[in-house]
Structure 1
Amino acid sequence: MESKIVFKDVSLEFDDHQNKGATFKELFANAFTLNNKEKNKHKRTVLNAINIEIKHGERLGIVGRNGAGKSTFLKTLCKIYEPSAGKITIQGNVAPLLEIGAGFNPELSGRENIYLNGAILGHDMSELKKLEAEIIDFAELNEYIDTPVKYYSTGMYLKLAFSIATAIKPEILVLDELFAGGDAEFVAKAKKRMENFIAESSIMVFVSHQLDLLQELCTRVIWIDKGKIIADGEPEAIIDLYLNKEAHD
């Protein structure tokens, strides 16, 4: 079965009123005291009627300024957020790498976190035992693998998280600013591994402010602004549009 992602009229709203540290008692009271007009005043649309189909073998890059909805798009794709409206259809298993070390227990060692994080990604114990040595080797953490990860640098977190997420080739790889903080040698290794995935006709969805990297790795780019897809097409053309708009704002 070929992998595919389809967003059909997908919208997402956040309730700013409920995100301001209100207590359960206050939220309960507000449910009865706020009328619909007042409730809607606190709603903020972060994705607005997104329609897109990402096909088998595509490498989709996403550009946009901070707060435009790029990371929210990824988190909705990965089912971290449930759409307020519309439907997302996914064919293929998704390996999300959205936040460095997300799902790691800082008190556990790197080795223990391989099994914890691997389980979160849906891998069973027998798979992870076979892959443990390869993960440690690729991450270049042999010396530190039995050290609690709370002592790891950002770069070490990055290496371990990427190595775990990509140990079993996913059909759909979702990345958010993966290479921020990575050393040049590891970035080269990671890019090579990603290129190998794509050669096997997986889907990659990739958010980055490193526009040269998007142009190098992606076959298609979308520009998101204020929760909407502004443009969709060839990487060089869309990145030029985006840069021209930013230059004139």
Structure 2
Amino acid sequence: MTASDLAIEVQGLGVRFRRNRRGRRSIKDLFSDSTRRSKPGEFWALRDVSFDVRPGESIGVVGRNGQGKSTLLKLVAGVLLSDEGTVSVNGGVAPLIEITGGFVGDLTVRENVRLTSGLHGMSKAEVARRFDGIIDFAELEDFVDTPYKHLSNGMKVRLAFAVVSQLEEPILLVDEVLAVGDKAFREKCYRRIDELLADGRTLFFVSHSERDLRRFCTRGLYLDKHRLAMDAPIDEVLDRYNADYPTGV
């Protein structure tokens, strides 16, 4: 299989962060740093990570807190840039990452749906066609003209999932979104992801929920000590992870 036939191709991926300042490196650092060595106050969130994902695969990313799972997802989404290696993504992504980001508090639900859908690449015609379905999924029929800032946290999560899950991109990136919301809404999310997988979408899924990982994923990537420790069927990966860390984190 050639690179162009892959959904995601990651080669020698590495990314650094600073402990003593917020965020990534400064603009000055980007121009002045000519080495790949860590400096005092820096650490590698990921190092020497390589794997391929074929179209239609369901990948679960496993590991303790702080091992780079969400960072890896953001690199695949294009939100972060790597310090080493490459990430190639063939096709658009529907990112369920930091799910309520991008919404504007003073705009109404209606206005936010139009804005965020457009930012994700939907045309005005597509937004109009999908608008009622988004509002129905989010269960916000009585709040369409309510400012977003007045919604409860649960309502905000429902709206964000409803928007992003309507995208027709071939790759779905999910980061712990199913851990939020009430039981009924989680079940609705499960059914929606089942529909997307049945439609042949590629799933790249970060979660601490063994139940969700076993339900949706066939293959697992286990990150440990900021490196890829194992790439195998999801049941084998979870067994290894549980053996390494019986108490979990």
Could you say whether these structures have the same fold, taking a TM-score greater than 0.5 normalized by the shorter chain as the test? yes
Shift of 1:28: 9.1
Mapping of 1:214-229 within 5 angstroms? 214-229=213-228
The letter for the 2-side match of 1:140 is E
CA distance in 2, matches of 1:166, 1:28: 35
* CA distance 1:89–1:108, shift in 2 (3 Å): same
Match of 2:17 in 1: 14
Are 1:48 and 2:47 matched, yes or no?
A: yes
Matched position secondary structure for 1:188 = helix
Match of 1:4 in 2: 7
CA distance in 1, matches of 2:10, 2:24: 31
CA distance in 1, matches of 2:35, 2:167: 47
* CA distance 1:213–1:41, shift in 2 (3 Å): same
Match of 1:151 in 2: 150
CA distance in 2, matches of 1:149, 1:177: 22
Q: Which moved more, 1:38-47 or 1:78-87?
A: 38-47
Matched position secondary structure for 1:96 = strand
Matched position secondary structure for 1:143 = helix
CA distance in 2, matches of 1:168, 1:230: 32
For normalisation by structure 1, the TM-score amounts to 0.89
The letter for the 1-side match of 2:22 is N
* CA distance 1:230–1:137, shift in 2 (3 Å): same
Are 1:102 and 2:105 matched, yes or no?
A: no
Aligned length: 245
Q: Which moved more, 1:2-11 or 1:88-97?
A: 2-11
* CA distance 1:203–1:3, shift in 2 (3 Å): farther
CA distance in 1, matches of 2:93, 2:144: 26
Mapping of 1:152-231 within 5 angstroms? 152-231=151-230
| Identical residues among aligned pairs (%) | 31
CA distance in 1, matches of 2:220, 2:198: 18
* CA distance 1:20–1:178, shift in 2 (3 Å): closer
For normalisation by structure 2, the TM-score amounts to 0.89
Are 1:68 and 2:67 matched, yes or no?
A: yes
* CA distance 1:2–1:123, shift in 2 (3 Å): farther
CA distance in 2, matches of 1:34, 1:85: 13
CA distance in 1, matches of 2:219, 2:15: 24
Which consecutive aligned stretches of 4+ in structure 1 deviate over 6 angstroms post-superposition?
Answer: 27-31, 33-39
The letter for the 1-side match of 2:202 is I
Matched position secondary structure for 2:177 = coil
CA distance in 2, matches of 1:164, 1:207: 20
Match of 2:125 in 1: 126
CA distance in 2, matches of 1:46, 1:98: 18
Shift of 1:223: 1.0
* CA distance 1:192–1:2, shift in 2 (3 Å): farther
Shift of 1:122: 1.5
Deviations 1:92-123 (A, max 9, x none): 11010111311100111111111111122111
Structure 2 portions without partners, runs of 5+:
none
Are 1:79 and 2:78 matched, yes or no?
A: yes
CA distance in 1, matches of 2:223, 2:103: 30
Matched position secondary structure for 1:80 = coil
Are 1:232 and 2:231 matched, yes or no?
A: yes
The two structures, once aligned, show a CA RMSD in angstroms of: 2.9
